[in-house]
């Protein structure tokens, strides 16, 4: 299903430091993201957070950032704010300026 309004809003938002896409299960968030990112030809890493990753959002972010090529992409284990620090470092990395990190089902990793 084509959703030109949502795709154009997402495309405009991808230049921001953070884009949050929220909707219920089955509404097509992942499909919207993958379609738009593919159409733009952007480098992307999709990481799905599972219930087993509860409290380890930093690890999911590190996994995706490592795929995108961020050197030393590690989050301090068990440290509050580790994911935030890691993502902030990635945002400032010149090698990742054109990259998109998608953390899917983030609510599963929040602890």
Stronger pLDDT, 39 or 50, i.e. the higher one: 39
Q: Which of 23-27, 82-86, 90-94, 103-107 has the lowest mean pLDDT?
A: 82-86
The pTM is what?
Answer: 0.74
What pLDDT does residue 94 have?
83
What pLDDT does residue 80 have?
63
The DSSP letter of residue 34 is: H
What pLDDT does residue 76 have?
57
What pLDDT does residue 108 have?
78
* Cα–Cα dist 73/86, whole Å: 7
* Cα–Cα dist 46/65, whole Å: 10
* Cα–Cα dist 58/41, whole Å: 26
pLDDT tens by residue, 46-72 = 888 877 767 677 777 888 888 888 777
């Amino acid at each position: 299903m084509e959703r030109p309004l949502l795709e154009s809003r997402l495309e405009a938002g991808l230049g921001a430091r953070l884009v949050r896409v929220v909707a219920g299960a089955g509404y097509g968030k992942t499909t919207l993201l993958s379609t738009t990112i593919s159409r733009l030809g952007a480098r992307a890493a999709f990481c799905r957070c599972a219930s087993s990753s509860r409290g380890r959002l930093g690890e999911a972010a590190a996994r995706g950032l490592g795929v995108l090529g961020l050197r030393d992409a590690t989050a301090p284990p068990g440290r509050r704010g580790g994911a935030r620090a890691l993502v902030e470092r990635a945002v400032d990395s010149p090698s990742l300026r054109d990259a998109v990190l998608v953390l899917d089902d983030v609510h599963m990793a929040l602890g």
